[in-house]
Amino acid sequence: MKNIAVIPARSGSKGLKDKNIKLLNGKPLLAYAIEAAQNTKLFDRIHVSTDSEEYAEIGIHYGADIPFLRDMATSSDTALMWDAMRFVLNKYEEYKEHFDTITVLQPTSPLRTSEDIACAFRFFRDKQANMISSVCEMEHSPLWSNTLPEDLSMKDFEDEKLAYLPRQSLPVYYRENGAVYILKVEHLYSASNVYKEKCYAYIMPKQHSIDIDDELDFAMAEILMKKIF
């Protein structure tokens, strides 16, 4: 079985400028994903999918394989991640390289460890899954949230049946944390919706699940990294 890890790192981030190469504790963000993948010893290729020569040079410096850049169609704000992953696989096919699984490691999850990836891969195999997606427990129950009207009235904000229940009595909700996706390549090509058939959630600890989108997320990641690691 041949496995490829792909780190999607396009340039042009708007929420946090150049976040994928922003230095976190002295190291560019995408380097953490490369090194975590390397330490698992699971992958035949570790590819940084980027539209930027600068990002590619950084990725190569840390040991990634980048024989080509992303095309414009898969590098825009509206491009879908799965289309970008199919582009990567198609390009490697041109080089006569074929893979059985693809693991997507977003660089915005720098606290994800090699052990997280290895455990997710074992789970993927044990479940004989088509896909797994990493999740973590939500910080706050969505049952205690709501939309607001224009006048900001909270008249109907709370569900009276839930308003006075202790937090421990509420069901546990999870969110995708974006840290690890593992798919059979065949499933990525054939499924109209990759989440539908034999897709399972792999639960990760919250402290490994921060997803950096803005300056506050980045500051929290710096604090957690110093505390945990």
Per the domain annotation, does 44 fall within a domain?
A: yes
Domain of 185, CATH number, reads 3.90.550.10
User: CA-to-CA distance for 123 and 202, rounded, in angstroms?
Assistant: 7
Per the domain annotation, does 83 fall within a domain?
A: yes
Per the domain annotation, does 50 fall within a domain?
A: yes
| pLDDT tens column, 135-161 | 999 988 888 889 999 999 998 898 877
The pLDDT score that the predictor gives to residue 229 is 66
Give, in order, the Cα–Cα distances in Å from 228 to each of 25, 56, 144, 213: 13, 29, 30, 20
158 burial level (CB within 10 Å; 0-12, 13-18, 19+): middle
User: CA-to-CA distance for 111 and 169, rounded, in angstroms?
Assistant: 30
Q: Which domain holds residue 110?
A: 3-137+175-228
Per the domain annotation, does 115 fall within a domain?
A: yes
User: Dihedral, CA atoms, 114, 212, 142, 117, nearest 10 degrees?
Assistant: -10
Per the domain annotation, does 76 fall within a domain?
A: yes
Query: Is the overall model pTM greater than 0.85, yes or no?
Result: yes
Per the domain annotation, does 46 fall within a domain?
A: yes
The pLDDT score that the predictor gives to residue 141 is 85
| Residue ranges in the chain whose pLDDT is less than 70 | 163-164, 229
Per the domain annotation, does 104 fall within a domain?
A: yes
Per the domain annotation, does 144 fall within a domain?
A: no
User: Regarding beta strands 45-49 and 27-28, do their DSSP bridges make them parallel or antiparallel, or are they unpaired?
Assistant: unpaired
Give the HSE-up count for residue 81: Cα atoms under 13 Å, Cβ half-sphere: 13
Radius of gyration over every alpha carbon of the chain, rounded to an integer in angstroms: 19
Give the HSE-up count for residue 199: Cα atoms under 13 Å, Cβ half-sphere: 16
Phi, psi (deg, nearest 5) at residue 182: -125, 130
The pLDDT score that the predictor gives to residue 131 is 98
Closest alpha carbon to 44 in 95, 87, 107, 2: 2
Q: Hey, which bits of the chain come out as E strands?
A: 3-8, 23-24, 27-28, 45-49, 101-104, 131-137, 174-184, 199-203
Domain total in the chain: 1
| pLDDT tens column, 27-64 | 999 999 999 999 999 999 999 999 999 999 999 999 99
The pLDDT score that the predictor gives to residue 100 is 97
The pLDDT score that the predictor gives to residue 215 is 92
The pLDDT score that the predictor gives to residue 136 is 97
